[in-house]
Structure 1
């Protein structure tokens, strides 16, 4: 009923250079604008020539990239402000997002899906996928209309699930390795300096927070906890410049 044409490629998760992910849109907000060249702007910005409903998925996808250049609409919305294509990039990754309805003639926000194509290193793509899911707080590959979603994306629900979960698994493994390396660093520093145990205990507590965040697939929280732990280890290690400086300041 009022369905758009299907995707040519279907979902692609873990692959050498490129991932293709499909996501169910739930909320059409935020509403943005764009200028004559197609650059996305805040609503009401000077030079705006049109409006667009970005949607919850695209907003989460752009945030997952971290600091990025201004998104550019390669296909600007017309009468339907929720049908568009945009591209955005960083030094590490390039992302294109398209929005289209796949059932119900696009009368409701839940009639729409986003196709997200990400090119770059596998670790970066995996991190983007994990961040999108964490930001949305739901599984974006679970659609409102299963059969229509499968037809529109040329992919079964099993393939959609595996494409997203495969990337998330890669991201989790990478962060788990980071936690293990930090744990090893703490172990190596223990016993070197008698007065450093409190700092190392604090580092251990931060690692526990990192593990809890990883269990929730909260990658930004993992990063923050690892950063705190790393700082504590550097301060505790008398062989590091930071540790040596701190001891000089304390008069040790």
Structure 2
């Protein structure tokens, strides 16, 4: 399904293809339950090479269910598929070799299906693209990737894939910019001549945090944007205690997939607390 049709808001599914650059034996499949586990799992299992792209994507789904492995890896530990649900967002990731017979990690790609509200897809793609350190739509072997898409996904090509990635990421930036603008407008509506030094200090703090949020957005630092706007909201409430905090409703203009980005050494916890994803 193409995200950029006449009415993109009517589209609920995005299909993305991304280059895998690093992978290690950091995960296992609980073969009794078909669930993804971390490398410390001691039950009956097979090894699964998750890869940097899938790790980043799952790491930004802070409230997701434990991924279900639909295609369990066999001899080829980097050939698999898994699904998970994060609120209204349904995610499927499939790992496939596209050159070199899958002998090298760089010979793999991930096929990513995102189904759900556009704002959530926007935010997830922005988070993933900004945290990887390289553009997932850029390929180790572009000609082989093009051949793979032509053979298995003829409705897609490398250019349309790049446009899809960038369009969703741009949508995420637009959503965050709209949130910043919304807080700016609310502040200007509430702002009155300061009656005392405390009010003036709050106004200065709000102004400073709005500046921090804009600067963070320019750097695609989405977590810093959220933190700055959270401080703005708190100070707006202090500035006008009679304001109902729910009237701000930041989640409507600033969809959040997760509050903490994945780090190199951190584990990612899912709703099913029996399983922890540990990053490669």
Q: Same fold (TM over 0.5)?
A: yes
| Structure 1 match to 2:273 | none
2:58 is the counterpart of 1:62 = yes
| Aligned partners of 1:13 and 1:163 also within 8 Å | yes
> Structure 1 152/240 Cα, relative in aligned 2: closer, same or farther at 3 Å?
same
| Aligned partners of 1:98 and 1:115 also within 8 Å | yes
| Aligned partners of 2:50 and 2:78 also within 8 Å | yes
| Structure 2 match to 1:247 | none
CA deviation map 1:182-230 (0-9, x unaligned): 1112212222552312112111111111111211222222111111111
Q: Aligned-pair distance for 1:116?
A: 0.5
Alignment equivalent of 2:129, drawn from 129, 133, 140: 133
Instruction: Please list every run of 5 or more consecutive structure 1 residues that lacks an aligned counterpart in the other structure.
Output: 1-8, 243-252
Q: How does 1:1-252 map to 2 (within 5 A)?
A: 12-14=2-4, 15=8, 16-29=11-24, 31-36=26-31, 37-154=33-150, 155-191=156-192, 193-194=194-195, 195-240=198-243
| Aligned partners of 1:64 and 1:132 also within 8 Å | yes
Q: Aligned-pair distance for 1:86?
A: 0.3
Q: Aligned-pair distance for 1:30?
A: 5.9
**Stretch deviating more after TM superposition (130-139 or 77-86):** 130-139
Measured in 2, the distance between the counterparts of 1:48 and 1:56 equals: 25
Measured in 2, the distance between the counterparts of 1:175 and 1:188 equals: 20
Instruction: Please list every run of 5 or more consecutive structure 2 residues that lacks an aligned counterpart in the other structure.
Output: 151-155, 246-280
Q: Higher RCO, 1 or 2 (CA under 8 Å, sep at least 6)?
A: 2
Q: TM-score scaled to structure 2, two decimals?
A: 0.78
Measured in 2, the distance between the counterparts of 1:71 and 1:202 equals: 41
| Aligned partners of 1:74 and 1:85 also within 8 Å | yes
> Structure 1 126/165 Cα, relative in aligned 2: closer, same or farther at 3 Å?
same
Measured in 2, the distance between the counterparts of 1:22 and 1:184 equals: 38
Higher helix share: 1
Indicate the RMSD between aligned Cα atoms, in angstroms: 1.7
Q: Aligned-pair distance for 1:156?
A: 2.9
> Structure 1 48/192 Cα, relative in aligned 2: closer, same or farther at 3 Å?
farther
| Aligned partners of 1:65 and 1:93 also within 8 Å | no
| Structure 2 match to 1:245 | none
Give the SS at the match of 2:134: coil
| Aligned partners of 2:25 and 2:47 also within 8 Å | no
| Aligned partners of 2:27 and 2:39 also within 8 Å | yes
CA deviation map 1:82-120 (0-9, x unaligned): 110000112210000000110011111100000000000
Q: How many residues of Structure 1 are paired with residues of Structure 2 in the alignment? A: 232
